[in-house]
A and B are shown apart, each in its own frame.
Chain A
Amino acid sequence: EPEVTQTPSHQVTQMGQEVILRCVPISNHLYFYWYRQILGQKVEFLVSFYNNEISEKSEIFDDQFSVERPDGSNFTLKIRSTKLEDSAMYFCASSEPLRGGGPYNEQFFGPGTRLTVL
């Protein structure tokens, strides 16, 4: 069964550094998402992406964050100048389109990247 993959599984960085988290969505999916989960807290939506542009973003997703689909398979989240509070598990998710437009609601999650900012 196809799965969303993410790399790296764990990233440790110094405060102020830039990190890029990578995701490979399921191949026929067209809608892509990033969520984060601070330890012990709920999963929070960051951004959705479709047709090479951001569809929606949350208040968390400020100018520090950016997303990109650099090629036909990868979907990346860049965090510039990381802060201590960016430490969290970051999940990528993807979903396939419904006929007639709009995403098929089921989202498939990747295994996550644990980001630790020191």
Chain B
Amino acid sequence: GENVEQHPSTLSVQEGDSAVIKCTYSDSASNYFPWYKQELGKRPQLIIDIRSNVGEKKDQRIAVTLNKTAKHFSLHITETQPEDSAVYFCAASKGRSYGKLTFGQGTILTVHP
């Protein structure tokens, strides 16, 4: 089955710096890659996603890139703010297989003021 590896496990940055989180996946049939943000004690919330027919997607300070050949995708957060501090999970899915998500291990992002 699909396996998703996520790095780093923890990331500490200063406010205003950029943060990059990387994930690799094993199943070349995966075609949907969402990123979820989970604040302490709260539900995972989708922040951005990308489908395999595009290589990059941007939404304000957040961007995701996908390299299908290398089977990896990355989350980029620019101009980080303290409220970006949370756990970020990447995931992969084979679209029409009823949408089962396989998650990475998570990255604890801490943005210091």
Please indicate the chain A residues that have their CB under 8 angstroms from the CB of B99 in the complex: 31, 33, 48, 95, 102-105, 107
* Contact mask for chain A residues 101-113; partner B; CB cutoff 8 A; 1 contact, 0 none: 1111111111110
Please indicate the chain B residues that have their CB under 8 angstroms from the CB of A45 in the complex: 100-103
Is the CB of A42 closer than 8 A to any CB of chain B? yes
Residue of B nearest to A106 (CB): B46
- Are B43 and A48 in contact, CB atoms less than 8 angstroms apart? no
Greatest chain B CB density within 10 A among A33, A42, A95 is at A42
State whether A109 and B89 are in contact (beta carbons under 8 Å apart), knowing that A31-B98, A43-B103, A48-B99 are contacts in the complex: no
Is the CB of B61 closer than 8 A to any CB of chain A? no
Is the CB of A18 closer than 8 A to any CB of chain B? no
Please indicate the chain B residues that have their CB under 8 angstroms from the CB of A4 in the complex: 43
| B104 interface neighbour in A42, A103, A106, A107, Cβ under 8 Å | A42
Greatest chain B CB density within 10 A among A35, A43, A95, A104 is at A43
> In the bound complex, how far is the Cα of B104 from the Cα of A95, in angstroms?
20
Please indicate the chain A residues that have their CB under 8 angstroms from the CB of B100 in the complex: 33, 45, 48, 56
Residue of A nearest to B99 (CB): A103
* Contact mask for chain A residues 85-115; partner B; CB cutoff 8 A; 1 contact, 0 none: 0000001000100000111111111111000
Given contacts A45-B100, A48-B98, A91-B44, 9 further A-B contacts (CB under 8 A): A33-B99, A33-B101, A42-B105, A43-B89, A43-B101, A56-B98, A56-B100, A91-B43, A105-B93
